[in-house]
């Protein structure tokens, strides 16, 4: 067998589409995760334990490993587990071959279906009215300015206008700064610091380099880090939006080579950091970068205030 295989091209292959070409289709979708009955081992088909995070190119079989003892990873690890009789190089060629197959010649092929996210039901407190770019609402502009992140926020956040769902139609419309989570719903924070979501809550993922992930509790901390560091190559950022979602991300990031953790310098944040590092040993606690402050945004705000205090007094 000859021919050079560029590994980077394999990383861009959709795992969901790849499995569909092999005749395996998801039975449901939650957020950005697709759930399959495992195709790597014998199963009763009563619980879909095989999970794919297609946007991140990762999968895990939560029911356990098959004969190869591989229970998760990227598309290459999937190929090795799916074709245990083939060598490493043969698996690479097989993945490429399947990906390049003319789908019209695949009897069982059907394109990946779009599933409505779970939880998009009645019962949420707020509903979206509309969104606008940052800058049209004076109060929200001043709010972001006071947090020291206005300029960077213009590219990453939106103004969201919403109202309560449990009151009459003539109720007032509220506003806040918002960003979307993995369900396509809006997380938000208003100028008084009230935080909630429109629809189901979830983590937020800002796509970047697949071999480096940075983790934050809140979006303002992520933006503060971007403002200070100005990285030339943006890593993938995962914002928990709530520390209760920590367990949800551990399996997603386990095989990513570089993991930097920027959780809060308080008791809950330190507990989350300790749990994460205990389960993912190569993750690195970076909270020392804002030592003396609760979080990254507090550090940025403090630096902004110091700069204002050091301004020379104008001569009269």
Residue 116's pLDDT is 47
pLDDT of residue 78: 93
Please write the tens of the pLDDT for every residue from 128-165.
Answer: 999 999 999 999 999 999 999 999 999 899 999 998 88
Highest mean pLDDT, choosing among 63-72, 260-269, 298-307 = 260-269
The Cα 284–Cα 259 span in angstroms is 6
User: Strand 28-30 vs strand 195-198: parallel, antiparallel, or unpaired?
Assistant: unpaired
Instruction: Decide if pLDDT at 305 tops 60.
Output: yes
* Nearest partner of 281 among 296, 265, 302, 261, judged by Cα: 261
Rounded to an integer, the average pLDDT of 270-288 is 95
CA pair distance 19, 26, nearest whole angstrom: 9
List, for residues 67-117, the tens digit of each pLDDT value. 788 888 889 999 999 999 998 888 888 898 888 877 666 666 677 765 544
DSSP-derived letter for residue 34 is E
Question: Which pLDDT does position 304 carry in this prediction?
Answer: 83
CB 235 within 8 A of CB 198: no
Unique residue bearing structure tokens 């609402």:
137
Residue with tokens 């407190």: 125
Q: What is the per-residue pLDDT for 6? A: 64
Distance CA 113, CA 11 (A): 21
Contacts of 187 (CB under 8 A, 6+ apart): 178, 179, 180, 181, 195, 196, 197, 201, 204, 219, 241
What is the number of residues in the chain? Answer: 316
What does the pLDDT average to over 25-39? 83
What token pair was written down for 85?
A: 């009789």
| Tens-digit pLDDT profile for residues 187-244 | 999 998 899 999 888 999 999 999 999 999 999 999 999 999 999 999 999 999 999 8
* Packing angle, helices 88-99 and 75-82, rounded to 10: 110
- Residues 5-23 have pLDDT tens digits of 666 678 778 999 999 888 8
| The pLDDT of residue 310 | 44
* pTM exceeding 0.85: no
Residue 56 predicted with pLDDT over 90: no
User: Cα–Cα distance between 30 and 35 in angstroms, integer?
Assistant: 8
d(CA 314, CA 287): 38
On the 0-12 / 13-18 / 19+ scale of CB atoms within 10 A, 82 is buried
Instruction: Specify the pLDDT at position 73.
Output: 86
Report the chain's mean pLDDT, rounded to a whole number.
86
């Amino acid at each position: 067998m000859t021919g050079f295989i560029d590994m980077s091209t394999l990383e861009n292959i959709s795992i969901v589409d790849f499995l569909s070409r092999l005749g395996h289709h998801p039975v449901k979708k939650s957020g950005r995760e697709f759930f399959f009955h495992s195709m790597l081992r014998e199963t009763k088909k009563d619980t879909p334990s095989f999970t794919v995070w297609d946007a991140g190119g990762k999968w895990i079989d939560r029911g356990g490993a098959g004969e190869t003892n591989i229970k998760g990873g990227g598309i290459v690890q999937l190929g090795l587990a799916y074709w245990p009789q083939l060598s490493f190089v043969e698996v690479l060629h097989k993945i490429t071959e399947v990906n390049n197959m003319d789908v019209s010649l695949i009897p069982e092929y059907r394109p990946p279906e779009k599933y409505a996210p779970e939880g998009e039901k009645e019962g949420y407190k707020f509903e979206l009215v509309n969104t606008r770019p940052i800058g049209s609402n004076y109060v929200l502009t001043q709010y972001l300015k006071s947090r020291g992140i206005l300029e960077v926020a213009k590219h990453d956040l939106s103004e969201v206008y919403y109202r309560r769902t449990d009151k009459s139609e003539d109720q007032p419309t509220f506003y806040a700064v918002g960003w979307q989570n993995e369900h396509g719903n809006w997380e938000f924070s208003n100028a008084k610091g009230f935080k909630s979501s429109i629809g189901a809550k979830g983590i937020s993922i800002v796509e970047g380099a697949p071999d480096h992930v940075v983790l934050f509790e809140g979006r303002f901390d992520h933006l503060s880090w971007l403002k200070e560091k100005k990285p030339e190559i943006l890593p993938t950022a995962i914002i928990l939006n709530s520390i209760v979602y920590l367990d949800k991300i551990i399996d997603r990031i386990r095989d990513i080579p570089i993991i930097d953790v920027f959780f809060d310098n308080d008791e809950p944040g330190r507990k989350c950091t300790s749990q994460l590092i205990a389960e993912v040993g190569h993750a690195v606690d970076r909270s020392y970068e804002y030592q003396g402050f609760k979080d990254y945004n507090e550090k940025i705000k403090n630096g902004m205030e110091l700069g204002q205090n050091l301004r020379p007094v104008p001569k009269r």
